[in-house]
Amino acid sequence: MSINTLRRCCKVNKFKNTLLICVLILGLILIFINPIQNFIIAHLSDRLNTTEYTSEDLQINLEKEADFDFEAVQSLSITEVLKAQASIDKLPVIGSIVIPEVQLQLPILKGVGQTALAVGAGTMKPTQQLGKGNYALASHYFEGKDILFGPLYRTKIGDAIYLTDLTNIYEYKLSVKKVIEATDVYVIEDTENTILTLITCTEDGEQRLMVQADFVKQYPMNEAPEELS
């Protein structure tokens, strides 16, 4: 075997080894990308939940510009999650939602922009107000994961749902839980009755899970029920 032939063989083997390493790295990325993404989402949600906001902070955020084009919402990607992580201190948090029975606790953010929905529940209408009409929230769903609106699939009729703006607590009782078509946008239209509507995707992404709850009562923050303490 000549020296040139030997060199060519070495180059080919080096290329094959490099290609093999790249394939292995890509495979590891594909295996671990979802767990990493889910970990970041849970961490960011918890961080916002534990941030010491004031009611004045939330009121300021309520006045900020936001995106309400729910039809433009796409499946959550690691890119959007990283964007949310980079802008965590600027996200328009306006409250929080808690469903004790399924250990759901999320920040409520203004609008349904991709970054907002990467860490919490987004408001679906620009003029909606807590404790009035039909207050509608949306968030992403991950099968079998206790992040974002995944726990909605474990809720039951009669479960208590609490929302707060740090001034008052708004208590609701779950009354409707069903799968609807993605085109059934009427479910978030305003109503004479005071209700809460929660929307998330089904596993195939083609339909939506809708949870609605009837308003029970409103009380100040210092009168929070024991299950919220």
Catalytic residues: 140, 201
CA pair distance 19, 4, nearest whole angstrom: 23
User: How much helix, strand and coil, in percent to the nearest 5, is found in the chain?
Assistant: 40, 25, 35
Q: If DSSP codes are grouped into helix, strand and coil, which group holds residue 218?
A: strand
CA pair distance 33, 207, nearest whole angstrom: 25
Instruction: Give the residue carrying structure tokens 């992403």.
Output: 140
Q: Which amino acid is at 195?
A: I
Beta strands in 58-154 (DSSP E): 93-99, 104-109, 121-123, 134-138
